[in-house]
């Protein structure tokens, strides 16, 4: 099988995970292995001692050029549960705000023998650039870049679905909201299709649906009530107000009337349908509080599963990176 350039960058010669930048192009067995590995880590959070020694002696640097307390805290907790040393770089007070370039900052961190960078950046492609041009022997994990990708969020969603619904091939999934600006939605679509889901419905106003998205094997819908008929999974997305202007939406109230998930609308889905949201939630805009806090909601479960997925990705990437380094040294 010929891998895409993106997949080649992320994988070792043996097909193991080396960086985790996007789900696009990654093979199904690898995604299944990430889910299986994360499943083994879910129980760690329930233990009295919530640590395993897989990254003992390794240094993980959280490079967040864009604020996200929730994502950064779960990455930090995941790294610490793997017994790694963690450095959170405050970009606002770092040398990058004093005239030092990003490359200089990364090279200095590399010189400190860092082993992994967890990168969140407002520019699409920044983690790819770092992995390809700057630090090829440091594992790079994408914690969200621009409107491009957010692979660990998508994989924690896949873990949630797998643990509560099992196999993907018979599921009907509705992804509702701001598809156009969502980096999460793109990786969700790639993950779902790769894992075998054949009925993926993207729902939102036409202004928030990307052009040509049907080429990804999904259907688009502008009517939420019709799109929710008989679905198994409802994934609500946050309105990315920081990435849009007023031309995309008339008002938040009108959006809620047309696309907010209410108790009445939830009845159109299957009785055992589950509700998910990557967070943070805008209550009364994307979802009714009674639904967000209801028995079909797995929104809080997703938070816990996120730690397990990030533990899986970090441990697998570090293992793959070490394997790649050993192979390179053996050839010299």
Q: Are 89 and 64 in contact (CB under 8 A)?
A: yes
Q: What are phi and psi of 311, to 5 degrees?
A: -65, -45
Residues 156 and 264 both lie in one domain: yes
Question: Is the four-CA dihedral 158, 164, 170, 173 of positive or negative sign?
Answer: negative
In a domain, 25, yes or no: yes
**Alpha carbon separation from 18 to 11, 31, 242, 278, 329 (Å, rounded):** 5, 13, 32, 25, 16
Q: Which residues, 6+ apart, have CB-to-CB distance to 52 below 8 Å? A: 41, 44, 81, 82, 83
Per-residue model confidence (pLDDT) at position 243: 47
Residues 78 and 121 both lie in one domain: yes
State pLDDT tens for residues 250-274. Answer: 678 888 999 999 999 999 999 999 9
CATH number of the domain that 269 lies in?
3.40.50.1370
Residues 156 and 282 both lie in one domain: yes
Per-residue model confidence (pLDDT) at position 102: 73
In a domain, 44, yes or no: yes
Q: What pTM was estimated for this model as a whole?
A: 0.92
State pLDDT tens for residues 167-191. Answer: 999 999 999 999 988 889 999 999 9
Residues 290 and 177 both lie in one domain: yes
Domain boundaries, position 26? 5-149+304-322
Q: Are 150 and 187 in contact (CB under 8 A)?
A: yes
Residues 22 and 141 both lie in one domain: yes
129's tokens? 């650039």
Q: What are phi and psi of 219, to 5 degrees?
A: -115, 150
From start to end of 79-151, where are the E strands? Answer: 85-90, 116-121, 139-145
Residues 170 and 291 both lie in one domain: yes
Residues 229 and 189 both lie in one domain: yes
Residues 292 and 160 both lie in one domain: yes
Residues 199 and 130 both lie in one domain: no
Residues 182 and 298 both lie in one domain: yes
15's tokens? 């097909």
Per-residue model confidence (pLDDT) at position 223: 96
In a domain, 165, yes or no: yes
- 3-class secondary structure, 120: strand
Residues 25 and 142 both lie in one domain: yes
State how many domains the chain has: 2
Per-residue pLDDT of the chain (332 residues; tens, 9 = 90+): 566 777 889 999 889 999 999 999 999 999 999 999 999 999 887 777 789 999 999 999 999 988 788 899 999 999 999 999 999 986 655 555 555 677 787 888 888 889 999 999 888 888 998 888 777 789 999 999 988 899 999 999 999 999 999 999 999 999 999 998 888 999 999 999 999 999 999 999 988 898 888 788 899 999 999 999 999 999 999 887 654 455 677 678 888 999 999 999 999 999 999 999 998 898 998 999 999 999 999 999 999 999 999 999 999 999 988 887 777 666 65
Per-residue model confidence (pLDDT) at position 332: 58
In a domain, 330, yes or no: no
In a domain, 328, yes or no: no
In a domain, 21, yes or no: yes
CA distance 180 to 178: 6
Residues 118 and 255 both lie in one domain: no
């Amino acid at each position: 099988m010929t891998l895409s350039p993106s997949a080649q960058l992320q994988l070792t010669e043996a097909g193991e995970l080396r960086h985790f930048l996007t789900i696009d192009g990654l093979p199904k067995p690898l995604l299944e292995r990430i889910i299986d590995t994360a499943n083994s880590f879910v129980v760690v959070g329930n233990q009295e001692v919530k640590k395993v020694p897989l990254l003992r002696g390794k240094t993980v640097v959280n490079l967040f050029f864009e604020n996200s307390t929730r994502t950064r805290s779960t990455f930090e907790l995941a790294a610490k549960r793997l017994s790694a040393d963690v450095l959170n770089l405050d970009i606002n007070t770092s040398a990058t705000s004093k005239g030092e370039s990003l490359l200089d900052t990364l090279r200095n961190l590399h010189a400190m023998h860092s082993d992994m960078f967890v990168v969140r950046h407002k520019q699409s492609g920044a983690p790819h650039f770092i992995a390809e041009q700057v630090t090829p022997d440091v594992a790079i994990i994408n914690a969200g870049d621009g409107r491009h990708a957010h692979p660990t969020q998508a994989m924690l969603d896949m873990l949630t679905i797998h643990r509560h619904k099992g196999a993907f091939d018979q599921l009907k999934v509705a992804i509702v909201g701001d598809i156009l600006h969502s980096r999460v939605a793109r990786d969700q679509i790639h993950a779902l299709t790769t894992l075998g889901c054949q009925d993926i419905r993207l729902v939102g106003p036409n202004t928030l649906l990307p052009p040509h998205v049907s080429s990804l094997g999904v259907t688009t819908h502008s009517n939420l009530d019709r799109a929710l008929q008989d679905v198994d999974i409802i994934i609500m997305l946050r309105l990315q107000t920081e990435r849009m202007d007023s031309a995309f939406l008339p008002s938040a109230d009108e959006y809620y009337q047309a696309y907010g998930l209410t108790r009445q609308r939830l009845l159109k889905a299957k009785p055992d349908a589950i509700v998910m949201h990557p967070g943070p939630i805008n209550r009364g805009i994307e979802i009714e509080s009674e639904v967000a806090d209801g028995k079909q909601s797995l929104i809080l479960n997703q938070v816990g599963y996120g730690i397990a997925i990030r533990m899986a990705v970090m441990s697998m990437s570090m293992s793959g990176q070490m394997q790649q380094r050993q192979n390179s040294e053996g050839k010299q």
